[in-house]
Homo-oligomer: A and B are copies of this chain.
Amino acid sequence: MRPSLRPDELLGSLRPSIAALPDSGIVEVVQYGMERPGLIPLWVGEGDATTPSSIGDAAVAALRAGQTFYTYQRGIPPLRQAMARYLSGVHDREIAPERIFITASGMQAITLTLQALIDPGDEVVLVTPVWPNILAALNILGGVVRAVPMTLTDRGWSVDFDRLADACGPKTRAVFVNSPNNPTGWIMPREEMEALADLARHHGFWIIADEVYNRITYDTDHAPSFLEVMEADERIVVVNSFSKNWAMTGWRVGWVVASPALGQVYENLIQYNTSGVATFLQYGAVAALEEGLGTIDAVRETCRIGRDIVCQRLGAMRKVRLARPQGAFYAFLAVDGETDSRSLAFRLVDEANVGLAPGSAFGPGGEGFLRLCFACSPARLSEAMDRMEPMLS
Residues of A within 8 A of B (CB): 1-7, 10-11, 13-15, 17-19, 21-24, 27, 44, 46, 50-51, 56, 59-60, 63-64, 66-71, 73, 104-105, 107-108, 111, 115-120, 133, 136-137, 140, 197, 201, 204, 206, 230-235, 247-252, 259, 261-262, 264-265, 267-269, 271-281
Contact of B234 with A108 in the complex, beta carbons under 8 Å: no
Contact of A3 with B231 in the complex, beta carbons under 8 Å: yes
In the complex, besides A5-B234, A24-B271, A252-B278, 11 extra interface pairs with C-beta distance below 8 angstroms are: A6-B233, A11-B265, A56-B68, A60-B63, A104-B274, A107-B275, A120-B120, A133-B271, A137-B272, A250-B278, A250-B279
Contact of A273 with B4 in the complex, beta carbons under 8 Å: no
What residues of chain B lie closer than 8 Å to A247, measured between beta carbons? 68
Contact of A273 with B46 in the complex, beta carbons under 8 Å: no
Contact of B278 with A231 in the complex, beta carbons under 8 Å: no
**A276–B140 Cα gap in the complex (Å)?**
17
Closest B residue to A17 using CB positions = B119
Minimum C-beta distance from A226 to chain B (A): 12
Contact of B23 with A44 in the complex, beta carbons under 8 Å: no
Closest B residue to A19 using CB positions = B265
A-B contact pairs, 28 of them (CB 8 A): A1-B231, A5-B233, A5-B235, A5-B259, A5-B261, A7-B233, A13-B206, A13-B235, A15-B117, A15-B119, A21-B265, A22-B268, A23-B264, A24-B271, A27-B73, A44-B70, A46-B69, A50-B69, A51-B68, A69-B249, A69-B250, A70-B250, A105-B275, A107-B271, A108-B273, A133-B272, A136-B272, A250-B280
From known contacts A234-B2, A272-B133, A273-B107, infer whether A70 and B56 are also in contact, taking CB-CB under 8 Å. Answer: no
What residues of chain B lie closer than 8 Å to A248, measured between beta carbons? 68
Contact of A56 with B50 in the complex, beta carbons under 8 Å: no
What residues of chain B lie closer than 8 Å to A262, measured between beta carbons? 10-11, 14
What residues of chain B lie closer than 8 Å to A278, measured between beta carbons? 250-252, 281
**A364–B5 Cα gap in the complex (Å)?**
34
Minimum C-beta distance from A317 to chain B (A): 29
Minimum C-beta distance from A378 to chain B (A): 19
Contact of A46 with B63 in the complex, beta carbons under 8 Å: no
Closest B residue to A1 using CB positions = B231
What residues of chain B lie closer than 8 Å to A267, measured between beta carbons? 23
**A247–B59 Cα gap in the complex (Å)?**
18
Closest B residue to A247 using CB positions = B68
What residues of chain B lie closer than 8 Å to A7, measured between beta carbons? 233, 259, 261
**A120–B60 Cα gap in the complex (Å)?**
43
Other-chain residue from B44, B51, B71, B230 in contact with A250 (beta carbon distance below 8 A): B71
Among A14, A118, A278, max chain B CB count under 10 A is at A278
**A46–B280 Cα gap in the complex (Å)?**
17
Closest B residue to A111 using CB positions = B273
What residues of chain B lie closer than 8 Å to A116, measured between beta carbons? 14-15, 18
Contact of A268 with B23 in the complex, beta carbons under 8 Å: yes
From known contacts A4-B232, A272-B107, infer whether A251 and B68 are also in contact, taking CB-CB under 8 Å. Answer: yes
**A10–B60 Cα gap in the complex (Å)?**
39
What residues of chain B lie closer than 8 Å to A68, measured between beta carbons? 50-51, 56, 247-251
**A13–B251 Cα gap in the complex (Å)?**
32
What residues of chain B lie closer than 8 Å to A1, measured between beta carbons? 231
Contact of B268 with A107 in the complex, beta carbons under 8 Å: no
What residues of chain B lie closer than 8 Å to A108, measured between beta carbons? 273-274
Minimum C-beta distance from A386 to chain B (A): 25
Contact of B252 with A274 in the complex, beta carbons under 8 Å: yes
Minimum C-beta distance from A188 to chain B (A): 18
From known contacts A10-B259, A231-B3, infer whether A268 and B21 are also in contact, taking CB-CB under 8 Å. Answer: yes
**A268–B17 Cα gap in the complex (Å)?**
12
